[in-house]
Amino acid sequence: QSSEALLGQPTPTGQFFVMMSPQEVLPGGAQRSIAPRAHPYSPKSEAPRATRDEKRRAQHNEVERRRRDKINNWIVQLSKIIPDCSMENTKSGQSKGGILSKACDYIQELRQSNLRLSEELQGLDQLQMDNEVLRQQVEELKNKNLLLRAQLRQHGLEIVIKNDSH
């Protein structure tokens, strides 16, 4: 296709795309001239932009300060909850890192304690079930004993129980 044919075909959006060098598009190597400005260039005044930037910076600083305050409050809460970590225990108080470190240690201790207690509870549940089975066996043996004693009496035999407590 020729350059004129390519230039004459608009895209569906109405835009033209030139896929050639400027020398091919502009015959004779003519340079495109840029019209001079009718008015002198004056950048937008920096004052409104500076105040807007300062306002945004101040707003950002306030948001960041509130975020830090929240984090600090949570750390103080942790120091009150965790044993041996209270701010009153030391003259200058604990460092944030020290508080967080003790919090991690305490959480690990609680997890291990929970695991141990859970295992003990399972053991107790098993003992309780074993006790229940033994109680049932004792009841069955008592009933069987009563039946056997009744049979012995029917046959005229007397049962003598001797208690040796020495």
- Residue 114 belongs to domain with CATH number: 4.10.280.10
> Tell me, what DSSP letter sits at residue 157?
-
| 63 falls within a domain | yes
pLDDT-based confidence at 32, cuts 50/70/90? Answer: low
* Mean pLDDT confidence for 105-118: 97
| 18 falls within a domain | no
Largest Cα separation within the chain, whole Å, is: 143
Q: Report the C-alpha gap between 9 and 17 in whole angstroms.
A: 9
Q: Report the C-alpha gap between 52 and 48 in whole angstroms.
A: 6
**Structural domain range at position 61:** 53-155
> What is the pLDDT at residue 125?
98
Candidate ranges 6-15, 19-28, 70-79, 155-164; pick with highest mean pLDDT: 70-79
| 101 falls within a domain | yes
| 90 falls within a domain | yes
Q: Report the C-alpha gap between 50 and 71 in whole angstroms.
A: 31
The pTM score is 0.52
* pLDDT greater than 70 at residue 15: no
pLDDT-based confidence at 122, cuts 50/70/90? Answer: very high
| 23 falls within a domain | no
| 45 falls within a domain | no
Q: Report the C-alpha gap between 100 and 96 in whole angstroms.
A: 6
| 46 falls within a domain | no
| 44 falls within a domain | no
Q: Report the C-alpha gap between 16 and 12 in whole angstroms.
A: 10
How many separate domains does the chain show?
1
